[in-house]
Amino acid sequence: MSLTPLRTAATTGLALSLLLSWTGPGRAERTLSVQEAILRAKPAVALVVAEVVAEVRLNCGSGEIQHTPPPFRETGTGWFIDARGFIITNGHVVQPAHTPPRWMVNSFAKRAIESACVPAILKRMGIAPGERPVAEDQVKRQALDSVLPSTKVKLDPGIFVVLSNGTRVRAEVKKYSPPLSVGDDPEGKMSGRDLALLKIPGKDFPILPLADSKAAKIGDPIHILGFPGVVLSHELLNQSATVEASVTNGAVSGFKQDKANQPVIQTDAPAAWGNSGGPAVTARGEMVGVLTFVSLAPGPEGGIVQGFNFIIPSNAVRDFIQGTEVKVSAESPFNKVWWAGLVEEFDGNYKAAERYFSEANKLVPNLPDVKRMLAEAQDKIKNPPPRPFPWAWVTLAVTLTSLGSYGAMWGRKWRKNRYRVAPSVVIRLLEEGKNPLVLDVRKPSAFETSPLKVPGALYVSPDDLDAGKFDIEVEPNRTVIAYCT
């Protein structure tokens, strides 16, 4: 599909802060890995197919016949905005089936003539296909000139959504805004916002929550999900490639305005034909924009110039769905269990993850991502991965032990020195005339050999003091200070 337009009291407090720093914030504010963010969003993305079948009635010269040429089919990407089956995609994705262009009728008629009339005429002339190219071209021109005016074409357009479990459902267009045109509108009006709201029957579908695009900043990482045609038609891939969305990564690289002065966000995330309508999601798995158009190299055969793609901001999507039945704030039962399962899976709680994934698989059966994560959880339950060494808890234990030892040593030191006084205190007492009683309780050897004598002190040996041989009466309020070594 063409894209153009297309996360002690002091000791106790320290231990608590260390514990919080290791266990991290609550789950509601946990940082998502890239894998978890993408897995949150991926089930909500679906393939959108605009298909036009034609019934052609024509007369090749032998009477009127009915012919059905191969259908016209183009693909794009859409995503669920409401769990009740509402899907957002680009207007230009559904345009061929929603408002079939006039050239399509003429194209079906020509293809019918070339496949039904020309081979019959060549056979009557005895010319094998490819035998005489010049004669074949002349027959083709003559058949078109003579048969085309009377040919009748009846179109049967349809828009279909293919879920990632392979279910194909016909969709109804609930609201439509045409793509931005390259030139001015013939009626003097600019084209629309290039958005379409589809509705399919069902409920409990996975949805993408909307981010606030005004909060987007240059350099913010984004992921574009979609169904690029190069993957859908790859000759080396099996049919599963048609139902699983691809992911490309990039960042917000600019803020621009389109020709109608409507804001668009520029991104360097790669995109290709078929990514049209795909959601650009943030690191939280929220939709911040819808891919709308890319940049093409100059010239008639210019290809996509990667790194210069543009998305419609999510706030423009909010404006677009105003007045419709869509409830942006409504929750999805699928999202509730799917996201909970992812949290448990990435936290290593595989039994809980298995329960949530099983519930998600019951709500919307056989989604590839759900089946894959369910099988992964079951395998890890049977074959648990080796648990990493608990360095954080070991570090916490060592830290608490060290703090406890330091506290014990400090307590013993405090108990030993709780009655110790500094010399300055003794001098202050003397100056204040409080006349403290000073006892010199040094060992005899130290007392006799030391030149230091404490003025006014009474000497008593430690042995006499322990033996109770020292007896002196002291007033009850008099301070006693012992000097020892």
pLDDT tens digits for range 10-28: 333 333 333 333 333 344 4
Give the angle 215-216-217 at the CA atoms, nearest 5°.
Answer: 115
Greatest extent of the chain over all pairs of C-alpha atoms, in Å: 149
Q: How confident is the model at residue 232 (pLDDT cuts 50, 70, 90)?
A: low
Give the dihedral sign, CA 459/461/465/469: negative
Tokens of 321: 């769905």
What ranges in 116-200 are assigned the alpha helix state H? 118-125, 133-147
| Residue 288 or 182, more confident | 288
Q: Which of 68, 75, 242 is nearest to 159 (CA)?
A: 75
Q: Which one-letter DSSP state was computed for residue 150?
A: G
Cβ atoms of residues 51 and 302 within 8 Å: no
Examine the pLDDT at 2 and tell me if it is beyond 90.
no
What's the rounded mean pLDDT across residues 2-13?
36
**Euclidean distance between CA atoms 300 and 410, whole angstroms:** 85
pLDDT at 195 > cutoff 50:
yes
Query: Which helix (H) or strand (E) element contains residue 102?
Result: helix 102-112
Through-space distance between the first and last CA atoms of the chain, rounded to whole angstroms: 96
pLDDT at 8: 31
Instruction: State the virtual CA torsion across 298, 299, 303, 307 in degrees, nearest 10.
Output: 0
Name the strands in the sheet holding 437-440, side by side, starting at the edge strand that comes first in the sequence: 458-459, 437-440, 480-483
Distance CA 352, CA 201 (A): 31
Tell me how far apart the alpha carbons of residues 48 and 161 are, in angstroms, rounded to a whole number.
5
Separation in Å, CA 284 to CA 61, 194, 209: 64, 26, 10
Q: Taking the domains of the chain in order of start, what are their residue ranges?
A: 9-320, 333-382, 421-485
Give residues with Cβ within 8 angstroms of 461, minimum separation 6: 441, 443, 444, 447
pLDDT in tens, 44-78: 999 999 999 999 998 888 888 899 999 999 989 99
Q: Which of 373, 180, 426, 153 is nearest to 292 (CA)?
A: 180
Q: Do 165 and 173 contact (CB within 8 A), yes or no?
A: no
* pLDDT reported for residue 4: 42
In percent, the amount of the chain with pLDDT more than 70 equals 86
Residue 461, pLDDT > 70, answer: yes
Query: What is the residue-wise DSSP string for 198-217?
Result: EE-S-S-----PBP-GGG--
**pLDDT average, residue stretch 298-322:** 78
Picking from 90-104, 131-145, 252-266, 364-378, which range would have the lowest pLDDT averaged per residue? Answer: 131-145
The Cα–Cα gap between 288 and 3 comes to 18
Range scoring the smallest mean pLDDT among 207-216, 283-292, 372-381, 444-453? 444-453
- Read off the pLDDT band of 29 (50, 70, 90): low
User: Average pLDDT for residues 429-433, to the nearest whole number?
Assistant: 75
CATH number of 9-320: 2.40.10.120
- The more confidently predicted of residues 259 and 251 is 251
Q: Is the CB of residue 160 less than 8 Å from the CB of residue 170? A: yes
